[in-house]
Structure 1
Amino acid sequence: MNVSQIESFCLIADLGSVSEAARQLDCNRTKLSMAIKALEKELEIELFVRSGNHVALSEAGKAIYKDCQNMLATASRIKQTCLQVSGEFNAELWIARDDSLPDELWQELAHTLNHKFPATSFNIVLASSGDLSNLVGTQQVDFAFGVDYERLDNPLITYQPLGKIRMMSVCKSGHRLTKLSRVSDEELRNAMQAVMVYLNEKDNPELQPLSLTHIGFSSFDYILNTILTEDAWGVLPEPLIRHYLRKQELAVIKHTYGLTQEDYCMLTAAGMAEHPGMTWLADQLNEYLFDF
């Protein structure tokens, strides 16, 4: 049994397809199938139930899946520790963030981060809130910051809440929904909604549209622009829209869930030692959120 076999087993289990797993691992499908068969032979049990091109975990596969994920997390932690000792650790960091906080804040933080820690190159990419955990879990990025809707029990990810962020169901001032003293679910369903969409294959009920007609974006900023220019409503983070509320360009919808709270988190790949720059960044974001 080796780490490569365990990685292949977990990826096939997640995707339900040997072909897709081979594509993502950039390896030959036959070679991947042989690796799984070798693992099954060593363990003396079938790990998958095969049906045409689709595979699903057997009862034995389900029983060991969590332990295999933990093994991968441990292997990653060992590699990171060795890199740290060799002096190659964190020469470059990839960071994903959503746009629930204003761009001006992120630009200021990014420039300060670069000056404070000149020995590290920081790559900051914008992503949908719904994709943050997947980007970290698949090791496409090292850290992620944003509204966390999932908080899955995933051994590949460490979640650190940095503060609460208030989410508001809003529409443009003058929208017909603002004229109602209490908005029902049915009235919301019959109004066009601008919603958050994401590439993560796992369903996320909190990001599913409520309205019968909707338009989806991977950015809160695009949702905001649509609400301001179209006859639509949507759920947006308070830091992004506070000045629009003060100028009375937006109004909070009087619905049961018009105001909710979510955790704003730092997501870290398991085994990734926290870079001092990320500690500094987390502290700055925590202070900013405290004002809300």
Structure 2
Amino acid sequence: MNLQAIEAFVLSHQLGSISAAAKHMQKNRAQLSQWISNLEIDWNVELFTRSGHKPVLSEQGLKMLPLCEQMLKAQNHLSQQVEQIAQQGCFRLNLGVSSFLQDSTVAKILSRFNHAYPNVDLKIFQRRDELLLNWQGPKLDLAICFYRDAFPNDYTIEPLCEMPLMAVCSATHPLTKEKSPNLQQVLSYTWVTILASSNTQVWDPDSIQRQIEVEQHSLAIELCRQGVGVFVGQQQQLIPYIKSGELKVIAHNDAIANEQLGLVYSKHASPNPTLQALIKMCKAEFNNESSA
């Protein structure tokens, strides 16, 4: 079906003549006249009466006009959607997120992204940082994670901000009675750590005499609250428990250390417009958090 012929029919009626429609479409009059005649042949209808100088809709033409107008609107809507999808550059993004990050922060970013790009599917992998930097699963388009000096050469890393990590224990833990415990004293107690986590920069995990390793930070924090052991976590996660008095920061000079948070993506391909938008939203959110 020739959509230009349908447009010629609708415009001839709206503009009052085939000549005006031809001028609007930047075609010659004879071509539009032939298109309209072909429509009449294909549909076995008469769209215009043949009397007078101006095109007058026949009874059949009156019935066909709204149908043709709807078809042209649908075609225009389809073109707009195709253009939007082409600008987005993708239909799906795989996003890696450090399990140290608060869910509420990640949810803010994803909520804004979902509002701006409702047609893009998201798959979120919440994992430990070293797993994201050495990812073996489905290709990640972007990872938001903590990193140090060493990371794979085929990745680009854009720093976001520094986040303090804290070594804490429960208010009833024996360490709270030590005013200035040395490193050996601190490491002599049980530690609750994230499985294979490298986020104990200040404290050497190999020197810790006993560890309880768990997958999720929520369980680690709960075990720490119950007095099971020492835990190193993101300051923002632990502040509510510190303010309530349930957890205490260990009285050691290195109990608070900064970790660098960054955006990690492949060097081999430039981020498409959709990914660029997500990166921009991440930067905006963490800039707000660091300035708060």
Alignment TM-score > 0.5, same fold: yes
Gaps of 5+ in 1: 1-85
User: Following superposition of structure 1 onto structure 2, how do residues 71-82 of structure 1 map, counting pairs within 5 Å?
Assistant: none
- The alpha-carbon deviation at position 238 of structure 1 amounts to 0.5
1:101-125 CA-to-partner distances (Å, cap 9, x unmatched) read 3222222322221111223222112
User: Following superposition of structure 1 onto structure 2, how do residues 1-292 of structure 1 map, counting pairs within 5 Å?
Assistant: 89-135=89-135, 140-148=139-147, 150-152=148-150, 154-198=152-196, 206=201, 208-274=205-271, 275=275, 276-291=277-292
- The alpha-carbon deviation at position 252 of structure 1 amounts to 0.4
Larger C-alpha radius of gyration, 1 or 2? 2
1:114-146 CA-to-partner distances (Å, cap 9, x unmatched) read 1112232221121012212112x8763111112
Letter of the structure 1 residue corresponding to residue 214 of structure 2: F
CA distance in 2, matches of 1:235, 1:209: 15
Letter of the structure 2 residue corresponding to residue 284 of structure 1: E
Q: Which moved more, 1:126-135 or 1:278-287?
A: 278-287
CA distance in 2, matches of 1:246, 1:210: 30
Letter of the structure 2 residue corresponding to residue 168 of structure 1: M
What is the DSSP-based 3-state SS (H/G/I as helix, E as strand, rest coil) of the residue aligned with 1:125?
strand
Asked if 2 retains the 8 angstrom alpha-carbon contact of 1:195 and 1:216, the reply is yes
CA distance in 1, matches of 2:257, 2:98: 18
CA distance in 2, matches of 1:193, 1:233: 5
Q: Please, what is the CA RMSD of the aligned residues?
A: 2.6
What is the DSSP-based 3-state SS (H/G/I as helix, E as strand, rest coil) of the residue aligned with 1:104?
helix
Letter of the structure 2 residue corresponding to residue 96 of structure 1: G
1:19-55 CA-to-partner distances (Å, cap 9, x unmatched) read xxxxxxxxxxxxxxxxxxxxxxxxxxxxxxxxxxxxx
1:57-110 CA-to-partner distances (Å, cap 9, x unmatched) read xxxxxxxxxxxxxxxxxxxxxxxxxxxxx8783321101112323222222322
What is the DSSP-based 3-state SS (H/G/I as helix, E as strand, rest coil) of the residue aligned with 1:215?
strand
What is the DSSP-based 3-state SS (H/G/I as helix, E as strand, rest coil) of the residue aligned with 1:266?
strand
- The alpha-carbon deviation at position 153 of structure 1 amounts to 5.1
What is the DSSP-based 3-state SS (H/G/I as helix, E as strand, rest coil) of the residue aligned with 1:154?
coil
Q: Which moved more, 1:93-102 or 1:105-114?
A: 105-114
Letter of the structure 2 residue corresponding to residue 233 of structure 1: V
Letter of the structure 1 residue corresponding to residue 219 of structure 2: Y
Asked if 1 retains the 8 angstrom alpha-carbon contact of 2:161 and 2:290, the reply is yes
CA distance in 2, matches of 1:194, 1:240: 15
Kindly tell me the number of residue pairs found equivalent between the two proteins. 202
Gaps of 5+ in 2: 1-85
Asked if 1 retains the 8 angstrom alpha-carbon contact of 2:94 and 2:124, the reply is yes
Number of the residue aligned with 2:65: none
CA distance in 2, matches of 1:94, 1:190: 41
Q: Which moved more, 1:216-225 or 1:180-189?
A: 216-225
Asked if 2 retains the 8 angstrom alpha-carbon contact of 1:177 and 1:253, the reply is yes
- The 3 A distance-change label for structure 1 pair 89 and 155 is farther
Runs of 4+ in 1 over 6 A off after TM superposition: none
- The 3 A distance-change label for structure 1 pair 109 and 204 is closer
What is the DSSP-based 3-state SS (H/G/I as helix, E as strand, rest coil) of the residue aligned with 1:235?
strand
